């Protein structure tokens, strides 16, 4: 009997309070907050696609995939473009067309070193000696290519392009070297990796 009486008093009190405008507004506010809180809680159930993705120091995760900085590649942005070009005392075979239009095939050794994250230095390109270093700019979009636009210590101007083959076993460099008397030689060098 006591519970019936309590239920009657409670129900009557709620009905009475609903007739008052302030109470209706307050109840609607509480229901609105509860609805928003419920929606917020369900949105937390969406998985973060980047939660377990590691992109290292050179990448950013977007929708579960790493987006690498320029001159960086790999699924975790952990490979610098320059690393695939590095070689020491590698064999070079070069077809040369000299300024006087004679041609020859020459062989020599060359080394390639990293010069930061976006450049490589080629030593002895064209068989001009160990002090001959030509700096090349890597292509920021294509990790297999580079351009040459440099002047060496002997004031020879080198211009051209280079590309590593798909197998990663050789680099082909097509270039010209212009001398101080404005004559130039053209070469196509293949460096074994």
Mark whether 31 and 126 lie in a shared domain: no
Tens-digit pLDDT profile for residues 63-111: 999 999 999 999 999 999 999 999 999 999 999 999 999 999 999 999 9
Mark whether 93 and 152 lie in a shared domain: yes
Mark whether 88 and 178 lie in a shared domain: yes
| Per-residue pLDDT, 26 | 66
Mark whether 73 and 88 lie in a shared domain: no
Mark whether 66 and 98 lie in a shared domain: no
Q: Residue for token digits 């307050």?
A: 26
Q: Can you give the CATH number for the domain in which 184 is found?
A: 2.40.128.420
Lowest-pLDDT range of 8-22, 72-86, 167-181: 8-22
- Given 59, 77, 95, the domain boundary residue is 77
For the chain, what is the domain count?
A: 3
Mark whether 135 and 172 lie in a shared domain: yes
* DSSP H or E stretch at residue 39: helix 21-43
Q: Is 10 helix (H, G, I), strand (E, B) or coil?
A: helix
Mark whether 176 and 104 lie in a shared domain: yes
- Given 55, 77, 99, the domain boundary residue is 77
Tens-digit pLDDT profile for residues 17-53: 555 566 566 655 665 555 555 555 545 556 799 999 9
Mark whether 38 and 115 lie in a shared domain: no
pLDDT confidence tier of residue 141, bands split at 50, 70 and 90: confident
Looking at per-residue confidence, does 16 or 142 come out higher?
A: 142
* DSSP H or E stretch at residue 95: strand 87-97
The range of the structural domain enclosing residue 72 comes to 47-77
Contact status, residue 93 vs residue 104, Cβ threshold 8 Å: no
Mark whether 69 and 89 lie in a shared domain: no
Return the percentage of the chain with pLDDT > 90, whole number. 73
DSSP string, 57-110: GGEEEETTEEEEPTTEESTTS-EEGGGGT-EEEEEEEEEEE-TTS-EEEEEEEE
Mark whether 166 and 111 lie in a shared domain: yes
| Per-residue pLDDT, 179 | 97
Mark whether 39 and 97 lie in a shared domain: no
Mark whether 51 and 114 lie in a shared domain: no
For residue 159, pLDDT over 50 is answered with: yes
């Amino acid at each position: 009997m006591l519970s019936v009486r309590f239920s009657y008093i409670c129900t009557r009190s709620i009905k009475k309070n609903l007739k008052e405008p302030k109470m209706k507004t307050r109840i609607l506010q509480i229901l609105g907050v509860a609805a928003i809180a419920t929606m917020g809680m369900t949105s937390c159930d969406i998985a973060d696609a980047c939660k377990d993705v590691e992109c290292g120091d050179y990448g950013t995760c977007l929708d579960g995939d790493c987006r690498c900085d320029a001159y960086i590649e790999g699924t975790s942005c952990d490979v610098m473009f320059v690393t695939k070009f590095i070689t020491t005392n590698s064999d070079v075979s070069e077809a040369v067309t000299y300024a006087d239009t004679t041609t020859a095939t020459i062989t020599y050794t060359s080394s390639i070193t990293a010069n930061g994250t976006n450049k490589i230095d080629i030593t002895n390109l064209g068989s001009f000696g160990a002090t001959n270093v030509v700096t090349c700019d890597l292509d920021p979009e294509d990790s297999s290519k580079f351009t040459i636009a440099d002047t060496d210590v002997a004031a020879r101007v080198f211009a051209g392009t280079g590309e590593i083959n798909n197998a990663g076993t050789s680099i082909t460099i097509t270039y010209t070297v212009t001398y101080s008397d404005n004559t130039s030689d053209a070469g196509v060098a293949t460096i074994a990796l």
